[in-house]
């Protein structure tokens, strides 16, 4: 159900990758900050938010929603983003918009048909595919061709048609395998792109206007994986698989 908001002020945070970023959407004007954080997301994000609120000259209570990159991505980063978003939303008395990191990647690309892949380690990727809406008057910016999943590059879902753009760290880690998988489908890859709070904020505007928001206490990250390490045997098998793949012409 669409909700008409005359003015929207949305704070967004994104900590699912090695980058830490925050942004504020001020009724169409964007302010943002970012830094390559490594493992310092929890140390950096609140000072970023405070700095943005000061720059925007607004109080936390003036926000209409808090958005965060909900995943998939780094387990620790997602927990930081969700926890901070919940805390800020509670303090402001506003709802939370959960924005998928793979959709944020698609938004960052500027392309029409996008394959979003984040390196999930252990020989796998977080994968999704999206197409930008082209229908006049459409309320949704994007349609989902393949919903986010965890898979190996070789078993990633098939794509139909051409003109696809591949984005994200999955193409840096598994570019050759993904190129073989989507031969003739991809026209460009941009492995340098990563989820950013600016794109999270932009997408959150749509979610807020459509009423697709949740109370702060109901906000949840999207993990897609329930473990973070391979066994010794799995690491050995993965190493052998990669060596065999490198030998193929």
> pLDDT by residue (tens digit) across 190-217?
999 999 999 999 999 999 999 999 999 9
pLDDT over 70, % of the chain: 86
Element (H, E) at 90: helix 75-92
Mean pLDDT across the stretch 122-134? 94
> pLDDT by residue (tens digit) across 68-106?
999 999 999 999 999 999 999 999 999 999 999 999 999
**Terminal-to-terminal C-alpha distance of the chain:** 52
Contact 84/106 with Cβ under 8 angstroms? no
The pLDDT value recorded for residue 1 is 56
* Token pair in block for residue 20: 């830490």
pTM across the whole model: 0.88
Q: Could you tell me the domains of the chain?
A: 9-218 (3.30.420.40)
């Amino acid at each position: 159900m669409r909700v008409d908001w005359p003015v929207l002020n949305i704070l967004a945070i994104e900590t699912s990758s090695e980058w830490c970023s925050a942004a504020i959407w001020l009724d169409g004007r964007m302010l943002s900050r970012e830094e390559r954080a490594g493992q310092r997301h929890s140390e950096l994000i609140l000072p970023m938010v405070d700095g943005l609120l000061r720059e925007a000259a607004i109080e936390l209570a003036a926000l209409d929603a808090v958005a965060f990159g909900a995943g998939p991505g780094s387990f620790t980063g997602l927990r930081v983003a969700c926890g901070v978003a919940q805390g800020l939303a509670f303090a402001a008395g506003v709802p939370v918009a959960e924005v998928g990191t793979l959709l944020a990647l698609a938004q960052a690309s500027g392309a029409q048909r996008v394959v979003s892949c984040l390196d999930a380690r252990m020989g796998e990727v977080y994968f999704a595919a999206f197409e930008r809406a082209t229908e006049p008057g459409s309320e949704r910016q994007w349609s989902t061709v393949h919903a986010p999943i965890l898979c190996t590059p070789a078993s990633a879902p098939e794509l139909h048609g051409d003109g696809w753009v591949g984005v994200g760290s999955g193409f840096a880690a598994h570019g050759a395998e993904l190129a073989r998988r989507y031969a003739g489908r991809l026209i460009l890859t941009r492995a340098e792109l990563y989820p950013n709070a600016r794109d999270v904020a932009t997408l959150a505007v749509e979610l807020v206007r459509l009423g697709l928001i949740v109370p702060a206490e109901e906000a949840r990250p999207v993990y897609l994986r329930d473990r973070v390490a391979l066994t010794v045997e799995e690491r050995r098998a993965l190493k052998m698989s990669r060596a065999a793949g490198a030998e193929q012409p």
